[in-house]
Chains A and B, each alone.
Chain A
Amino acid sequence: MSRWVAALRLIGVGFFVGGSILLGVVAGLWLDNKLNSAPIWVIVGLFLGLVIAFYGVYRMLLPLMDNKRDKENS
């Protein structure tokens, strides 16, 4: 993998975390407003956003971690 791909992946991580949490919370707020059920969906959305954030970051960093492991093994 070229350095460019690694750099771009790392740059993408930060805003991905923010974006996923934001999307979850905004969707939760919208649902709560619609269904009049505050604060259940906000909490669900926040939790889902956090899960997506962690999963997405894990997936983005997986190739980089593999790279490192390969170097350590060889």
Chain B
Amino acid sequence: MPKRRFLGCSFPVLLGVLLVILVLFLVSLLSGALGSSLFGDLGLPSWLSVPQPHPELPAGVVFHLLGFPITNSTIAAWLSIIVLVGISYAVTRRLKLIPNRVQSMLEAALGWLLNFCQEVAGEENGRRFFPVVTTIFLFVITNAWLSLIPGFGSILITNAEGETVELFRGANTDINLPLALALISFIFVEYWGIKSVGLFRYIRKFINMGRFFGAIGQIFSGKIKAGFAGLFNGAVDIFVGALEALSELVRIVSFTFRLFGNMTGGEILLLMMLFLVPFVLAIPFYGLELLVGFVQALIFGGLTLVFATIAVAPHAVEAD
């Protein structure tokens, strides 16, 4: 008769694992900030507790390159680039007709992204937007997931000014990187829009004075009543155009703060959980942060895709 198995382990092994987790949980609860405020100081060794974190929003400067400050988030972004380029190089160097495990995983991911682009933007435009959208997606998700590797933020070095700073810091948690990505997305969306519908037709979306000047012409040619009605409509057109232009700029701000806020919030959440109950309580939040990293990358890429789709659509179609 086969032994009964629970979660793939025999019963004594499972009991042992659960016991270890329980002990770890109790020890971490007692040694953390939460436990010491509930039960008072129990005289546990100090290495069990985690010091209170002091998150700082500006990234620390590690060194200067030609007078240009290189921050720890910049180095982390370089690391992401190295990882992405390294994986691509290693996989595409020997492409096989029957892919091995890594190649098929990458093919599945890229295939899914291409499918996503084509579903949103249509067959032809999807292929056109795919490189930029996918680059943004992969870069954001690599930044987010690299910063979750344990030990990523704990390498401390002393810079030239004598301050102690971390060598790496999640690149998405420095507001300059989301801003740069938002500007890239903005520039590409405008470029695609201009290229598809033509410069003057594209600008007419924002500066629409046709009806206004038409109405002035009507007033001078004697049609006073129609002219004034047209003048009002023309003023509405101009106002709506200005709103369109401003909402185009607001997208940059909302892109920036969405990514920056979510990533920084996640980082601080993890630090605080480690401070309150070390070792154990941060684990579920690690899972949450993995999901948040994926979702934010998808949103950044996907919204770029949606805005690009709107920008390349002819105006008449969009108004329907």
A binding-site residues for B, Cβ under 8 Å: 2, 4-5, 8-9, 11-12, 15-16, 18-20, 22-23, 48, 51-52, 55-56, 59, 66
When A and B form their complex, what is the total count of cross-chain residue pairs whose Cβ atoms lie within 8 Å? Answer: 63
Q: A4-B116, A16-B254, A18-B257 are in contact. Are A11 and B303 (CB under 8 A)?
A: yes
> Number of B residues contacting the other chain (C-beta, 8 Å)?
22
B binding-site residues for A, Cβ under 8 Å: 116, 119-120, 240, 243, 246-247, 249-251, 253-255, 257-258, 299, 302-303, 305-306, 309, 320
Would you give 7 A-B contacts (Cβ < 8 Å), ordered by A?
A: A2-B119, A5-B120, A8-B303, A12-B303, A18-B254, A48-B246, A55-B247
Nearest-Cβ distance from residue A71 to partner chain B, whole angstroms: 16
Chain A minimum-CB-distance residue to B247: A56
Nearest-Cβ distance from residue B111 to partner chain A, whole angstroms: 16
Residues of A within 8 A of B240 (CB): 55
B250 touching A9, Cβ below 8 Å = no
B257 touching A22, Cβ below 8 Å = yes
Main secondary structure, interface of A, reads: helix
B243 touching A52, Cβ below 8 Å = yes
B250 touching A19, Cβ below 8 Å = yes
Q: Which of B257, B306, B309 has the most CB of A within 10 A?
A: B306
Q: Which of B116, B119, B258 contacts A15 (CB 8 A)?
A: B258
Q: Which of A8, A55, A56 contacts B302 (CB 8 A)?
A: A8
Tell me the bound Cα distance from A39 to B250 in angstroms.
22
